[in-house]
Structure 1
């Protein structure tokens, strides 16, 4: 490949990279026991909140504090819901109310259900962000 061809190829690769790709690191505190996984659903609008995910993540639950990282997200508004899948059955167990620990971004609380998107949303800047939530 000629030097000009190499330069064009590199420029095309850079143009294909996501603009403003940001990493989101979520620290999950108050994990009562090791075992199972921490499951995270990421949402990017009020219309899709708790319906259609923009991203899924999980990590092994190791005890008191755990971390889930989403790489290369577009900067913008997001909210997330997560739970400790203690029995590794890939779903939030409930008996009317959740029987496994859960949390929402901003430690938002709902009334008789999940919180609103507005109470859980946060802005992810192009530089990325680290947030903390506590399981309940």
Structure 2
């Protein structure tokens, strides 16, 4: 097709998932204002996969800059549970930025989808 926007595939792999209980909730966004929650981002791509999964694929993705946020929703309540502000369930981000006080900014997790196929390896983290 003449003038069609180039598209790519993104493979996302998950490391160090604590258990196969629950689901991994993944949000892929290009909007820095809605990262990492993706709550008001109508253009975000959201997927849920069983926690026992070690990978996920996004096909037909327009080339551009994105960031990924993942939560391990072990109890299936569709949110990241916390205790005194500390996550009780696992989380992870594209590019595996250091975690200090709160989630990383979009700039720390962003990556470019430029070729036909890209890959992100996300290490899950657990605080409690």
- Quote the residue 1:116 is aligned against: 105
- Find the aligned partners of 1:15 and 1:99 in 2 and give their Cα distance: 50
* Structure 2 gap segments, 5+ residues each: none
Q: Cα distance 1:79–1:94, how it changes in 2: closer, same or farther (>3 A)?
A: same
SS at match of 1:47: helix
- Equivalent of 2:78, from 73, 90, 93? 90
Tell me how large the CA RMSD over aligned residues is. 1.9
Deviation string 1:92-127 (CA, Å, 9 cap, x unpaired) is: 111111100101110013431111111100001240
1:39 aligns with 2:16: no
What TM-score does the superposition give when structure 1 sets the normalisation length? Answer: 0.79
- Find the aligned partners of 2:5 and 2:115 in 1 and give their Cα distance: 9
Determine which structure has more spread, i.e. the larger CA radius of gyration. Answer: 1
| Count of residues paired in the alignment | 120
Displaced runs of 4 or more, over 3 A:
none
SS at match of 2:9: strand
* Structure 1 gap segments, 5+ residues each: 1-13
- Find the aligned partners of 1:30 and 1:43 in 2 and give their Cα distance: 23
Give the deviation of 1:71 after TM superposition.
1.7
- Quote the residue 1:125 is aligned against: 114
1:134 aligns with 2:120: no
